[in-house]
Structure 1
Amino acid sequence: MNNRRKSFTVETAAAAGAPASAEELLGRMVGFETVNPLMGGPAGGEAALAAHLEWLATGWGLRTRRLPVDDGRFNLLVSCEVAGDAEWLLFESHLDTVTVDGMTVEPFAAKVDGERIYGRGTCDTKGSGAAMLWALRDRAAGGERRRNVGVLFAVDEEARMTGARGFAAGALREFLPRLRGVIVGEPTRMQPIVTHNGVVRWRTRTRGVAAHSSDPTKGRSAISAMRRALTDFEENYAPTVNAVNALTGRAAASVNTIRGGTAVNIIAEECAIECDRRTVPGETTEQVLREREAAFAGHAVEHDELYVAPAMDAEQSGALHAWVARAIERHGGDATPRGAPYVTDAGHYAAAGAASLVLGPGDLAQAHRANEWIARDQLALATAVYLELMRQP
């Protein structure tokens, strides 16, 4: 779509006043362009949305706290607290979205059409964030308050998960002694994900000697070296990655980008691939790195840009799921515990010691699409279930 409407700024959003419903709040959130900067989005997009949510939350009598992330960005924690020694329940939703390139609906103007709301982020995962914050608003305005409740709006989930990693390594520790659990919002159709796979990614390089292509014998091609290494990876290593989890599926290994050379008339001095190794619960990063060394043994390669997102084990989320299931079933939902082959921020929280599960409105099949949308009844169900969790014994 070429004619993209200008997204909200903090000033224009504030001028519109406070939203009157969870749907209006979602529309407001979609109006901010928060495409991840590593996917072509503007610097400061997440911060602008967080600042507006901060303004709304303050107006509703909620507490806010900016939690710095290493790269200069910040997560926003919005809370309703009853006592310093009370139990905590945390919810989390990420602020960023994927690119809007190729979208067939207006990305930054949520459009209601029948029973659907269209726009980038409606499903993944501003719908979760809107439902969580609206539920917290209702909880603060209501009667009995059983526990402290916080909603964390995290940055950079779609690329590097720096928001989740920063929170897990820092402020989360403050909550652990009195934390019932963390509910992470992703499109699960409000069906609980109690376990999911993890990922270990890295870049592998080969180096050669540049020379003019008129006499290749004077050089050494990094592309040719990579071809040999890649063949071993795909033919001898990837087929052996066959660990299986009953709920999350099979482990996997793949090479998904390759870049090499500088010009058609120059023997390539460097070539690089990016490798993706999906891990099932129980596999470790150390195990994967040992496998990597064996897979590339005999090849002159270098590895860098290691990225790890932990798997989430079902054993750690068992008690939290049993408690959450009551609220889901009370609202007519399906509380059967499920697994997922993808990764979420919840893996970082679980690895830090927090009981965690994934629960949010919308269907993954509707996320990242050219016409991304969320069903209105899913948004309403999420708001009701989240509020129930904030209140239930």
Structure 2
Amino acid sequence: MSGIQMPNTVEKLRALIAANSMSSVLPDYDNSNLGVIELLASWFGDLGFKCEVIAIADNPGKYNLIATLGTGTGGLVLSGHTDTVPCNPERWASDPFTLTERNNRFYGLGTCDMKGFFALVLAAVEKYHTQSFHQPLIVLATADEESSMSGARSLSSSQFSQGRYAVVGEPTSLKPIRMHKGIIMETIRLVGKAGHSSDPSLGVSAMDAMHNVMGELKQLRIDLASRYQNAHFAVNTPTLNLGCLHGGDNPNRICGSCELAFDLRALPGMSNDDLRTEILQRLNPIAAENRVELTLESLFPGINPFAESENSELVQIAERLTASTSNAVNYATEAPFLQNLGMETIILGPGSIDQAHQVDEFIAQDQIDPCVNLLSQLIEHFCLTPRG
């Protein structure tokens, strides 16, 4: 593969940022990620990777990329998502789709979360692509992490049938993360009966019933915090946030329907399915007492809590290479989906989560060389070193 003229790291990042791949549950803000996938497939293909571009079923315009260098069992997966959150360009100091350098930082939508990771993976791989890999290196680029996680959910066990080690390159300031909370987002709908407000007997107020429902959810929040704690987390209990409330149509009408959306973030060891069951067990009697119909609907399938053993080889290698103890975070990632496919998994990547989803998102330039060096060492350990 001699003579390859690869664009340098900054130019790769510039091209990735220019490719609008915002994902959103709102169609007006949702875009295809194919432009990013095609760039990555071209660059990794030029380095000798076998590249598979896989359309996500029932998600037009959305694609995963699986790029593989080498063969055999085991190996290392470097994984990231190709989409970004939506943005408000008018609030940025520079065009979010134009890579801009100032103050020893690179600004642009996705620089930190997380297109920058792919540019640095390519930089790390370039010096190794002519070497013999004893175990394969697999780069996984997914769709829609910021909205539905449809890319990670669509991965079949047949595509990752061998045991591997997986690094999810979300921004962690190059500190290894081995635990995070799960998340469910749910909507409760109550249907009563509208009527003239001058005579309460003419209707059944869904809003009055929702008041009691909200009180029970607040009590559930207290109960979960008393039952579950994990000292590794900055917020060491589960959290339940009552996010938005809609109901009724006029002050002089009894509220006929009311809707509440909330999220619940569970600690490792807790079950999202068990939480949904407990919520219904606690709320159904309230609905019956208030003579309203209750439905509980998931806004998306949810993400399970994630924990990797502190004794796993991947965690121990990452701690040694970074000189940092692995930690826990409150946000969720694609890590549980990779772990469920039989891989030891951690989250470890350049940039700070404090810059993710923010106006004037950036990656600091002093993260670039350390990240490339770290990725190089992981490749050498898991792919270039013979393993018994």
Assess if the C-alpha contact under 8 Å between 1:128 and 1:379 holds in 2.
no
Assess if the C-alpha contact under 8 Å between 1:80 and 1:136 holds in 2.
no
SS of 1:357's equivalent?
Answer: strand
2:368 matches 1:374: no
2:167 corresponds to? 183
Assess if the C-alpha contact under 8 Å between 1:253 and 1:277 holds in 2.
yes
2:225 matches 1:239: no
SS of 1:105's equivalent?
Answer: coil
1:273 corresponds to? 260
Identity of aligned residues (%): 25
Assess if the C-alpha contact under 8 Å between 1:74 and 1:155 holds in 2.
yes
Aligned residue pairs total 364
1:389 corresponds to? 378
Assess if the C-alpha contact under 8 Å between 1:157 and 1:164 holds in 2.
yes
Deviations 1:259-284 (A, max 9, x none): 22345665433221122111111111
2:296 corresponds to? 303
Are the structure 2 counterparts of residues 276 and 22 from structure 1 closer, same or farther at C-alpha, using a change threshold of 3 Å? Answer: same
1:318 corresponds to? 312
Assess if the C-alpha contact under 8 Å between 2:172 and 2:350 holds in 1.
yes
Q: Aligned match of 2:133 in 145, 167, 174?
A: 145
d(CA) in 1 for partners of 2:84, 2:164: 28
Are the structure 2 counterparts of residues 110 and 18 from structure 1 closer, same or farther at C-alpha, using a change threshold of 3 Å? Answer: farther
2:290 corresponds to? none
Assess if the C-alpha contact under 8 Å between 2:24 and 2:85 holds in 1.
no
Assess if the C-alpha contact under 8 Å between 2:308 and 2:344 holds in 1.
no
Are the structure 2 counterparts of residues 125 and 270 from structure 1 closer, same or farther at C-alpha, using a change threshold of 3 Å? Answer: same
Matches within 5 A, 1:256-267: 256-262=243-249, 266-267=253-254
Distance apart, 1:371 and its partner CA? 1.2
Please, which runs of 5 or more residues in structure 1 have no aligned partner? 1-16
Are the structure 2 counterparts of residues 138 and 219 from structure 1 closer, same or farther at C-alpha, using a change threshold of 3 Å? Answer: farther
What amino acid does structure 2 have at the position aligned with 1:128? F
1:218 corresponds to? 202
d(CA) in 1 for partners of 2:161, 2:318: 18
d(CA) in 2 for partners of 1:205, 1:18: 58
d(CA) in 2 for partners of 1:209, 1:297: 18
2:15 matches 1:28: yes
d(CA) in 2 for partners of 1:349, 1:123: 21
Distance apart, 1:359 and its partner CA? 0.4
SS of 2:120's equivalent?
Answer: helix
Please, which runs of 5 or more residues in structure 2 have no aligned partner? 288-293
What amino acid does structure 2 have at the position aligned with 1:226? M
d(CA) in 1 for partners of 2:282, 2:369: 49
Are the structure 2 counterparts of residues 231 and 59 from structure 1 closer, same or farther at C-alpha, using a change threshold of 3 Å? Answer: same
1:50 corresponds to? 37
Are the structure 2 counterparts of residues 317 and 159 from structure 1 closer, same or farther at C-alpha, using a change threshold of 3 Å? Answer: farther
d(CA) in 1 for partners of 2:101, 2:47: 26
Assess if the C-alpha contact under 8 Å between 2:164 and 2:342 holds in 1.
no
Distance apart, 1:226 and its partner CA? 1.3
Assess if the C-alpha contact under 8 Å between 2:22 and 2:31 holds in 1.
no
Q: Aligned match of 2:150 in 162, 168, 182?
A: 162
Assess if the C-alpha contact under 8 Å between 1:180 and 1:320 holds in 2.
no
Q: Aligned match of 1:203 in 187, 193, 206?
A: 187
Assess if the C-alpha contact under 8 Å between 1:194 and 1:338 holds in 2.
yes
* TM-score (norm: length of structure 2): 0.86
Distance apart, 1:111 and its partner CA? 0.5
SS of 2:194's equivalent?
Answer: coil
2:122 matches 1:122: no
Provide the alpha-carbon RMSD of the alignment: 2.4
Assess if the C-alpha contact under 8 Å between 1:39 and 1:99 holds in 2.
no
Deviations 1:159-212 (A, max 9, x none): 221111212xx0x444343x3311001110111001111122321110122346
Matches within 5 A, 1:288-367: 288-300=275-287, 301-305=294-298, 307-315=301-309, 318-326=312-320, 328=321, 333-367=322-356
Assess if the C-alpha contact under 8 Å between 1:34 and 1:41 holds in 2.
no
1:11 corresponds to? none
2:64 corresponds to? 75
d(CA) in 2 for partners of 1:289, 1:43: 29
d(CA) in 2 for partners of 1:201, 1:228: 20
What amino acid does structure 2 have at the position aligned with 1:184? V
d(CA) in 1 for partners of 2:254, 2:92: 39
